Structure 1
Amino acid sequence: MESANNSDSTNKQMEMQLSVVVSEAASYSAGAAHQSPSPDSCISQGFEGNRFSPRLATTAQGCYTAHGSSTVGFSSGNSAPLSRQFWSAGEYEDLPNTGLAHRRDGRNRLCVHPKFLHSNATSHKWAFGAIAELLDNAVDEIQNGATFIKVDKFITPHAGSLALLVQDDGGGMDPEFLRRCMSFGFSDKQASSNIGQYGNGFKTSTMRLGADVIVFTRNKKGSEVTQSVGLLSYTFLRQEGYSDIVVPAVDYSLDSSHGVLTRLHRKDRGQFFSNLSVMLKWSPFPTEAELLKNFNDIGAHGTKIIIYNLWNNDAGDTELDFESNEKDILINGAPKKAATNNVLLQVTQSHIATTLRYSLRAYCSILYLHVPAYFKIILRGSEVEHHYIARDLKYCECVKYRPQVGGKIEGELVTTIGFLKEAPFVDVHGFNIYYKNRLILPFHRVACHSGSKSRGVVGVLEANFIKPTHDKQGFERSNLYQKLEVRLKEMTNEYWGCYSHLIGYGKKVSNSSTPQAAIAYPLPLSSSSGCNIKPITVNPQMLTDNTSKSSHSSTVTPNIALLNASNTFNHGQIKSPVQAGMKRERGHEETEPLQKQARCSSTGTEVELHNCVGQRQVVDIKALMQQNREMKKDCLEQEKIQRELLFKLQELKNELEQVQQQHERLVSGLLVSNAIKMENV
């Protein structure tokens, strides 16, 4: 993260620059800001010129004029008022005399109608899915130095209406990249490393959340610093009657060493001020000074996105609820928790599998499988605590799966499967399927059984060999995906057959095939977190004995997950130690719960061992527990070392940047000094 001194210096420079910029624009923009600009003077999909000019309307609903007043609810032209409900916002009639745009050489060119902004955004059925797209962009910027992303409520000046703020301190965008971001089909991201790759996420997500979005971004390349503003406004395009998507954008060059802000004219001065006048009229910022103030808290580089004119639900309320919880953003109209004495219903209602559907904080906590310790998701001013679903499981198994097509292995994944620590008192089950670290399907149900079968069984896996849909809320129904679903269903049934008796359900087991069990405890961190603990097999006879009841029992508190790795990492099957690969027969399962043979405490960290067979076995398992305690201690030490190294790395980066800035100032001062000496000579 940039140092406080660097940020303060940038802010002071910005305050000095505002008066210079505004005074220069006064003579030109005084008249331009109050007139309807020509479409030819704006940027269509990030490129200048070649514009078709339809008839223009002059007023708009819910937007701002250049002098800061809100216009009336209907247009003086043929445009009807814009609906404030997302699913009906695309239903309007075009103005007459619209058609194909023509190039100067006489050839037709493809126009993207403003209605496409709405229809394109309908791929997001869920508002939080749209917000997740914007979070993905910040996570992709970690490689460019991003350390945080902030999501918060924003109150627009003058009108005081609600808006959504999304801001990060990544590398920012230069003028050309901003235009590509706000256009269609451009993406410089590498499919092998980044979450996004289609170049469409920004448009679909912002237009799904609100009718209009304005972007402020500052980018630094060497000693050159640029800052740009782009406006994508469905309200503007709709009310002015455009038949093509117009994206006004303005750029500035910042000389940080001298505190000078200069306008960049990509074509000419007239085009710059024409684009600027559109922004001042249709954005929440009616003057250039107010527009530029948004860069004050960005720092040396980063991006700020403000989505305004947020969509309403059927009840007339905004889809996003900022008022019910000051530390969260909720979905308006979400179901309320029912007052009940039913323990199963109480636990299920409070579980993250339920709350993630209407709580952005809950959803963000599991959105990424792993995030660097220094990267923070800040929601409503409070950091989101990362939630590892695998740590909520007990009696865990790790199962390797290698899908094959035509005899060729197409990929490999390891699934962690187990019972939720609340089981059997929770009606939740399913698999959390990630793609390149990003959650695509949370608690996806693959096994549908009547009664209690599969209840509480949850899995976590990262499947990078299948492709997600464009909204990243599902996967393409490819052959590989269908094979994966079938395997996960089989895995659920196999696991239930092996371990359901450990949480109170019974299973008739022959003497020759006693299922192997694992002690309940949250899983360790992955190797990417600095912890590299290998699984240890536990003797199943230490947990069960069907012959006689011993007069002694011992209680052991484990310190790390004991996973049945030696029997599970083989052809993706959950196997017993006695008869590997044996198929469990459904006829052996009983519907009534039997007396528990292994009882887990309410915290999920203590296991009472009943009916131990022999003192030697007790000594063996105690030795395993001691070994795991030592391994847990080593893991924590490695994590601490990793955090310290990451912190030192960030400090060194900050120091290096400060030294570079100091060097630039010294060189600049030297050049000025030499110039003065030459003049004196």
Structure 2
Amino acid sequence: MASMIAVNLEPDRLRVGSRGSINRMVEQVQQEKYTSQYAGNDVFEDNRSRNTSNAAQTGSTLLEQGQSAVDDARVSSTSALPSAPICRQFWKAGNYSDAHGSRVNLQSGKTYLHVHPMFLHSNATSHTWAFGAIAELLDNAIDEIQNGATFVMVDKISNPRDGSSALLIQDDGGGMDPEAIRQCISFGFSDKKSSEAIGQYGNGFKTSSMRLGADVIVFTRHMEERSATQSIGLLSYSFLMRMGHDRIIVPMVDYEFNTDIGKFGISRRHTNESFQANLSLLLQWSPYSSETELLKQFDDVGLHGTKVVIYNLWYNDDGNLELDFNKDPQDICIEGDTRKVESLPAWRTVKEQHIANRLHYSLRAYMSILYLRIPETFCIKLRGQVVMPHNLADDLKFPEYILYKPQAGGLREVNVITTIGFVKDAPHVNIHGFNIYHKNRLIKPFMQAMNLTSTRSRGVVGILEANYIQPTHSKQDFERTSIFQKLEVRLKEMAWEYWDYHCGLIGYHVTKKVRAVSSPSDPPAMSNQTFPTVGTEQAASPGLGVKRKEHSNSVTPDAVRKLPRLGEGVAVTSASSSSRHISQQQQNAVAVLMQDNQKLRADLFEYEMRKEELNLQVIKLTRELEEENAEYDRLMAELTLLDDMKLENQRVNIVM
């Protein structure tokens, strides 16, 4: 059932080079045929092809024409790599000499390529920031909202095998069937066809989980019509490196719901031999030492959902866990990353506690601004507490709205509305930059488009959603394309222009007077340094002149007010900062409502479970009724036959 990738390396056909070519390599690899290393063994190896699943289930071997079968003795599962314990510091964990390489010579003399376990580590280095890796795992849960997900929770749990800390990420989305979880753990698969989906490469789970810890185990349950499956998969860097494997092997077991006995049993995908082989590896290398413990992890999954447990978490260079679970019992922090800022003593604490600084070391702060829009039916939980969404536009005073019309791909014109203003504590707090979202997801928080050494644009903050530019693989930056570079230039000009006209509002000398609004008969004067804008929502201070000149393609205040708030539709907000302030009393009321909502969801879950039990009972009783009806029909037929025979005997006796 399990397959090893066997890719014929013909001259100039496949080149493995820079990280940028990895995706192209994987796409080509997936189109090649596969050779089974473990015939009849269900130890799943990475890079399965969809079109080989049926053959793999029977344990058959797929070979290129004219190619002989691969003997297990000829394709070794071990290499000359040392079996010493893996270094627990992430940035040093990949320092292993690869004496074996990633090529295997087959009987026919052809050379084949497969993915070496060390690629798991090198692939994960795209995440330089641990919170960026957690964000990618959250993206998977957000994408599950369309499948009915109502929550995702992030928490610390204890590894039952050794008591060490482990990271739990769980959602109640649609879950994955056996084929989907294999695609999730292998490379280069992505079935996210929605234009709104955040993920697209099918690589995020591997890079993010391996960035956070050496090992990850996945529990997932999926329901489809009347069938239900649950699967367990293990992606273990520790297992692969310590055992010296030269390819990625993923132990995996699957269960199917049996309506006859009313519980889950071994999936028909497995033979008993292959199931036991996979289960043995799971019990040896996972945090759970028995099948009962493994299956117990599904107790809180419900009818459908996914639970990810990342263990053997990485340490930093100081020998401490990179993720700090002790600093705040309701948060997860990055150990030692609290930022000290230079400021006047009276304002130092305010600046240090500003979200622009806290997001770098506080996961709760980062998660609160990670998404522009979260449906009311969905919540993010961290350490058992709901993460309250934070609208960055609420932190601005004297906001303006600037319409930018770039051309995507040189042909299609798009509209991007940027909310720009001064941070509330400006000029005492020197926070500035642009928060750029892509498809609802924060990619660049407080991007410095301006010169840090200049007071010009001090305290100017902007928020925009730019769906026309492409984020990088890690979703922490954008591809350095000409389109993005033009956006950077435009944002810098926006910040300077806003500062030049409005710096007087925070006590600086105005360098450019705000001009009077032209009459309708006057032609609108445009310059290269101006942008279509809406005037600030608060009147300018005395002595600053009247509002800026309107432009023919400006966004009118009425039009802005008709648009949804930032976080509800587009990157626009219309209410004044004072009216948008939420009091503590309102926050408490929201918390109470959310608790009530959670209770109702729990009740709904119980009702759904009961409904499913009743449905299964109906199916069982219907089947029994059909059997009883069949038995009744058989007995009636026998009775009729006996009656006929009795009548016939009576006639015979009368005749005699």
1:491 to 489, 494, 519: 494
Work out whether 1:570 is the aligned partner of 2:549.
no
Specify whether residues 675 and 347 from structure 1 end up closer, same or farther in structure 2 by C-alpha distance, changes over 3 A only. Answer: same
TM-score (norm 2): 0.73
1:673 corresponds to which residue?
625
CA–CA distance in structure 2, aligned partners of residues 149 and 491 of structure 1: 37
Report how far residue 377 of structure 1 moved.
0.6
1:384 to 372, 384, 387: 387
Q: Please give the per-residue CA displacement for 1:419-464, whole angstroms capped at 9, x wherever unaligned.
A: 1111111111000000000000000010115342211100000000
Aligned residues of 1:231 and 1:279 also touching (Cα < 8 A): yes
1:513 to 512, 515, 519: 515
Work out whether 1:260 is the aligned partner of 2:263.
yes
CA–CA distance in structure 2, aligned partners of residues 153 and 190 of structure 1: 32
TM-score (norm 1): 0.71
Report how far residue 197 of structure 1 moved.
0.4
SS of equivalent residue, structure 2 residue 349: helix
Specify whether residues 99 and 460 from structure 1 end up closer, same or farther in structure 2 by C-alpha distance, changes over 3 A only. Answer: closer
Work out whether 1:347 is the aligned partner of 2:350.
yes
Name stretches of at least 5 consecutive residues in structure 1 with no aligned partner. 1-36, 58-74, 517-534, 548-563, 575-602, 607-627, 630-643
Report how far residue 493 of structure 1 moved.
0.6
2:238 corresponds to which residue?
235
Aligned residues of 1:320 and 1:329 also touching (Cα < 8 A): yes
Specify whether residues 667 and 413 from structure 1 end up closer, same or farther in structure 2 by C-alpha distance, changes over 3 A only. Answer: same
Aligned residues of 1:402 and 1:409 also touching (Cα < 8 A): no
Work out whether 1:544 is the aligned partner of 2:542.
yes
SS of equivalent residue, structure 1 residue 83: coil
1:87 to 91, 99, 110: 91
Specify whether residues 292 and 546 from structure 1 end up closer, same or farther in structure 2 by C-alpha distance, changes over 3 A only. Answer: closer
Mapping for residues 138-287 of structure 1, pairs under 5 Å: 138-190=141-193, 192-255=195-258, 258-287=261-290
Q: Please give the per-residue CA displacement for 1:204-257, whole angstroms capped at 9, x wherever unaligned.
A: 000000000000000000110100000000000001111110111100012368
Aligned residues of 1:94 and 1:241 also touching (Cα < 8 A): no
Work out whether 1:464 is the aligned partner of 2:437.
no
Report how far residue 341 of structure 1 moved.
5.7
Report how far residue 545 of structure 1 moved.
4.3
1:42 corresponds to which residue?
43
CA–CA distance in structure 2, aligned partners of residues 152 and 652 of structure 1: 23
What is the letter of the counterpart of residue 308 of structure 1? Answer: Y
Aligned residues of 1:191 and 1:197 also touching (Cα < 8 A): no
Report how far residue 193 of structure 1 moved.
1.8
CA–CA distance in structure 2, aligned partners of residues 216 and 539 of structure 1: 51
Aligned length: 532
CA–CA distance in structure 1, aligned partners of residues 279 and 550 of structure 2: 66
CA–CA distance in structure 2, aligned partners of residues 104 and 43 of structure 1: 23
CA–CA distance in structure 2, aligned partners of residues 269 and 660 of structure 1: 29
Mapping for residues 90-101 of structure 1, pairs under 5 Å: 90-94=94-98, 100-101=103-104
What is the letter of the counterpart of residue 86 of structure 1? Answer: F
Report how far residue 657 of structure 1 moved.
8.3
Aligned residues of 1:397 and 1:565 also touching (Cα < 8 A): no
Aligned residues of 1:257 and 1:665 also touching (Cα < 8 A): no
CA–CA distance in structure 2, aligned partners of residues 441 and 138 of structure 1: 21
CA–CA distance in structure 2, aligned partners of residues 645 and 84 of structure 1: 41
Aligned residues of 2:438 and 2:467 also touching (Cα < 8 A): yes
SS of equivalent residue, structure 1 residue 214: strand
Q: Please give the per-residue CA displacement for 1:157-206, whole angstroms capped at 9, x wherever unaligned.
A: 13111110000000000000000000000000025120000000000000
CA–CA distance in structure 1, aligned partners of residues 133 and 540 of structure 2: 50
1:374 to 360, 372, 377: 377
SS of equivalent residue, structure 1 residue 295: coil
SS of equivalent residue, structure 1 residue 498: helix
Specify whether residues 367 and 509 from structure 1 end up closer, same or farther in structure 2 by C-alpha distance, changes over 3 A only. Answer: closer
Q: Please give the per-residue CA displacement for 1:618-677, whole angstroms capped at 9, x wherever unaligned.
A: xxxxxxxxxx99xxxxxxxxxxxxxx9999999999978865764453243122123134
Higher relative contact order (CA 8 A, sep 6+): 1
Work out whether 1:362 is the aligned partner of 2:384.
no
Report how far residue 316 of structure 1 moved.
0.7
CA–CA distance in structure 1, aligned partners of residues 162 and 605 of structure 2: 41
Aligned residues of 2:167 and 2:310 also touching (Cα < 8 A): yes
Work out whether 1:417 is the aligned partner of 2:390.
no
1:312 corresponds to which residue?
315
Report how far residue 38 of structure 1 moved.
10
Moved more, 109-118 or 436-445: 109-118
CA–CA distance in structure 2, aligned partners of residues 280 and 166 of structure 1: 21
Q: Please give the per-residue CA displacement for 1:248-303, whole angstroms capped at 9, x wherever unaligned.
A: 11000123684322101425221111111111111111111111110111000000
1:454 to 449, 454, 457: 457
1:605 corresponds to which residue?
578
1:502 corresponds to which residue?
505
Work out whether 1:402 is the aligned partner of 2:354.
no
Specify whether residues 432 and 652 from structure 1 end up closer, same or farther in structure 2 by C-alpha distance, changes over 3 A only. Answer: same
Work out whether 1:441 is the aligned partner of 2:414.
no
Q: Please give the per-residue CA displacement for 1:576-634, whole angstroms capped at 9, x wherever unaligned.
A: xxxxxxxxxxxxxxxxxxxxxxxxxxx9639xxxxxxxxxxxxxxxxxxxxx99xxxxx
CA–CA distance in structure 2, aligned partners of residues 55 and 436 of structure 1: 42
Report how far residue 53 of structure 1 moved.
4.1
2:564 corresponds to which residue?
none
Report how far residue 92 of structure 1 moved.
1.3
CA–CA distance in structure 2, aligned partners of residues 78 and 648 of structure 1: 54
1:54 corresponds to which residue?
76
Specify whether residues 38 and 679 from structure 1 end up closer, same or farther in structure 2 by C-alpha distance, changes over 3 A only. Answer: closer
SS of equivalent residue, structure 1 residue 303: strand
1:482 to 482, 485, 504: 485
Report how far residue 93 of structure 1 moved.
2.6
2:114 corresponds to which residue?
111
2:589 corresponds to which residue?
none
Aligned residues of 2:303 and 2:609 also touching (Cα < 8 A): no
Specify whether residues 362 and 260 from structure 1 end up closer, same or farther in structure 2 by C-alpha distance, changes over 3 A only. Answer: same
CA–CA distance in structure 2, aligned partners of residues 546 and 479 of structure 1: 38
Specify whether residues 495 and 537 from structure 1 end up closer, same or farther in structure 2 by C-alpha distance, changes over 3 A only. Answer: closer
1:298 to 301, 305, 329: 301
CA–CA distance in structure 2, aligned partners of residues 400 and 433 of structure 1: 15
Instruction: Calculate percent identity across the aligned residue pairs.
Output: 48
Report how far residue 565 of structure 1 moved.
11
Q: Please give the per-residue CA displacement for 1:9-31, whole angstroms capped at 9, x wherever unaligned.
A: xxxxxxxxxxxxxxxxxxxxxxx
Q: Please give the per-residue CA displacement for 1:102-153, whole angstroms capped at 9, x wherever unaligned.
A: 6788754320000100000000000000000000000000000000001000
Q: Please give the per-residue CA displacement for 1:507-556, whole angstroms capped at 9, x wherever unaligned.
A: 1556x82599xxxxxxxxxxxxxxxxxx9967987742479xxxxxxxxx
Aligned residues of 2:102 and 2:115 also touching (Cα < 8 A): no
Specify whether residues 539 and 166 from structure 1 end up closer, same or farther in structure 2 by C-alpha distance, changes over 3 A only. Answer: closer
SS of equivalent residue, structure 1 residue 454: coil
2:476 corresponds to which residue?
473
| C-alpha RMSD of the superposition | 3.8
Aligned residues of 2:153 and 2:169 also touching (Cα < 8 A): yes
What is the letter of the counterpart of residue 188 of structure 1? Answer: D
1:614 corresponds to which residue?
none
Specify whether residues 81 and 666 from structure 1 end up closer, same or farther in structure 2 by C-alpha distance, changes over 3 A only. Answer: closer
Specify whether residues 314 and 294 from structure 1 end up closer, same or farther in structure 2 by C-alpha distance, changes over 3 A only. Answer: same
